[in-house]
Amino acid sequence: MAWALVGVPIAFAAYCLLSYKLMPPLPFSSPAGTANWFIVFAAVIFSGVLAIGSYFPGRIWVKVFIILLYTLLMTVILFFVGLLAACMSGDCI
């Protein structure tokens, strides 16, 4: 459960910060950089979904609702984590 709530945003923030350091000038300046960002974004959310799904046994509709709610909230959180990492690297929108 800790991975889904804390580990996922930290892992994504680490990726974002490292991508700005390792792929100058911007990680989004090529299609490959953009694809990598979306792959990591989906992978960390999916890993959180797996952690949440294994933590809440019970009725399937409750699990589906919690997973959908987690996915929605984590998508918003990771958007702002990525935005914060971009601004820290001098790439504010």
In a domain, 9, yes or no: yes
Q: Which domain holds residue 23?
A: 2-88
Cα torsion 89, 49, 4, 77: sign: positive
Total structural domains within the chain: 1
Note the pLDDT of residue 75.
Answer: 95
Q: Work out the angle at residue 78's Cα, subtended by the Cα atoms of residues 67 and 53, and round it to the nearest 5 degrees.
A: 20
**14 within some domain:** yes
Q: What is the pLDDT of residues 34-77, one digit of tens each?
A: 788 889 999 999 999 999 988 877 788 888 999 999 999 999 99
Please indicate, yes or no, if residue 27 is contained in any of the structural domains: yes
